[in-house]
Amino acid sequence: MFMGEKEFAKLLTKQGKKWKYEPRAFPMPEPYARFIPDFYIPEENIYYEVEKNYSVDKQKQYCSFQKRKFKKGG
């Protein structure tokens, strides 16, 4: 966990939110093998990705991930 992720974890904890760190990997279409979001908030069914520097490739992968729909519980 890098510094930005640690700070985000502290913020979530301070807000009283339960969170899981990198709870699962999502298969992605080519050319990406998988995407692993940093945090999952079960009560909200939301995944968060914390990045300090986004490469163009990482941005494309994240945008592809955002377009997907998920059932409650991840």
What is the C-alpha separation between 40 and 17, in angstroms, rounded? Answer: 10
Residue 12, pLDDT score: 92
Summarize pLDDT for 9-67 with one digit per residue, the tens.
Answer: 999 999 999 999 999 998 877 777 888 889 999 999 988 888 766 555 665 665 566 55
Q: What is the pLDDT of residue 54?
A: 56
User: What pTM did the predictor assign?
Assistant: 0.67
C-alpha–C-alpha distance, residues 40 and 47, integer Å: 4
pLDDT (0 to 100) of residue 8:
87
pLDDT at 50: 83
Can you tell me the distance from the alpha carbon of 15 to that of 31, in angstroms, rounded to the nearest whole number? 37
Higher-confidence position of 39 and 68: 39
Q: Where are the domains of the chain?
A: 3-66
